[in-house]
Amino acid sequence: MKNPIPISAPVRQRLADEVKEFAIVAVYLGVYFAALAYLKSAILAAHGVAFAPFGFAIAKALICAKFVLLGRALRLGETFKHRPLIWATLHKAIAFLALLLFLDAVEEAIVGLIHHQSVAESVAHVGGGTFAQLIATSVIGLLILIPFFAFRMLGERLGEGNLFRLFFNRGAADQAARAG
Query: What string of H, E and C letters represents the secondary structure of 23-53?
Result: HHHHHHHHHHHHHHHHHHHHHHHHCCCCCCC
Q: What are phi and psi of 145, to 5 degrees?
A: -75, -30
Percent composition of the chain: helix, strand, coil (DSSP 3-state, to 5): 80, 0, 20
| Residue 3 pLDDT | 54
- pLDDT confidence of residue 180: 58
Cβ atoms of residues 9 and 60 within 8 Å:
no
Tens of pLDDT along 23-37?
Answer: 999 999 999 889 888
> Which residue ranges in the chain fall short of pLDDT 50?
none
Q: What is the pLDDT of residues 88-109, one digit of tens each?
A: 999 999 999 998 888 888 888 8
Query: Cβ atoms within 10 A of the Cβ of 158, count?
Result: 14
Locate the domains of the chain by residue range.
10-74, 80-170
pTM: 0.76
pLDDT of residue 103: 82
